Amino acid sequence: MLENYSVSTVAYAGHSFEDAIKSLARIGVRNVEVALIQGAIHELDESMINSDYAIQIRSVLSWHNMKCTSIAAHCEMTGENCADLLLRRVELCIALSCSRLILYAPREVSWSKFFSEARRAFELARTSGIKILIENVGDRKSYLLNDARDFTQFLSDVDTSVVGINFDPGNFLSHRPELDVLEHSIASLSVAEHLHLKDLTLKEGVWQCCDIGYGQGNYRRLLVHAFTNKCMPFFSLEQPLMLERDLYGRTRLKSQKQLMSIADIESRLKRSIQTINECYELSSVQS
């Protein structure tokens, strides 16, 4: 049975963390990616990322016998603010015994400058066994990490003992719509230490999140390839159901009035998990 994956709480944006975890437990999830993503979670405030909140998260997960395997704590980091923001997120990982911290790639700053400014956080992550995984972003701006053409240079610039790549094919769809998502996703399998599985459809100029395998991410081919060749890294099913993007990849969080029910969210997640398992089983037959 496939077990090397987690499910992100971002699907439950607008619902409480406790309700999200109860729901994930009901559908058999044991590994959780805690989503603390600015712009994708209602009423998320930077001040929430502290030791008190970590205690709450840990208590809820422990009650349901679940584990936090990654934290996606995206925010816009610059050379000026990264020292404090990154340190706070590393400390949260430590409090949750979580070994993966996922962050958007920086922009308008060199990696050497970024690393230098946040050196204390990187050193704490290293000594604590935490890997900081940098993710390609979904808007049309240019970042230090955009697509497969950047992998080699990026990995040569960073200290790979503490920094790695989290590739997100869903973000790639809106970031580089002119390129082949399957080609770049397959290329990521040889370098990425973690993947986000997020599928999107483009309707009337708006990118909408859909279930895995039902959008433009070409996930069925990607998953069968990865499972058949045994090159699939640990991954997280990430379905930001309350988020949409315009043609420039700029995000908009839907209002609370459009909130999906817990039952509907569970149905959507189970459909994606079914597709993932079908691809895994198909790869077993082919190999």
Find the CATH number of the domain harbouring 58.
3.20.20.150
- Mean pLDDT value across residues 276-286: 91
Q: Please count the structural domains in the chain.
A: 1
Q: What pLDDT shows up at residue 232?
A: 98
Does residue 2 have a pLDDT over 90? no
* pLDDT over 80 (residue 188): yes
- For residue 197, give its domain range: 5-286
Residue 287 has pLDDT above 70, yes or no: no
Residue 197 has pLDDT above 80, yes or no: yes
Confidence tier at 72 by pLDDT (50, 70, 90)? very high
- Its pTM stands at 0.97
pLDDT at 286 over 80: no
Write out the DSSP string of 29-68. Answer: --EEEEE--TTTSTT--GGG-SHHHHHHHHHHHHHTT-EE
> What b-and-e string marks burial along 260-279, b requiring 16 or more CB atoms within 10 Å of the CB?
beeeebbebbeebbebbeeb
Which pair of structure tokens corresponds to residue 25? Answer: 């437990």
State yes or no: pLDDT of 35 exceeds 70.
Answer: yes
- pLDDT value at residue 43: 87
pLDDT given for residue 78 in this prediction: 84
Q: Higher model confidence: residue 80 or residue 182?
A: 182
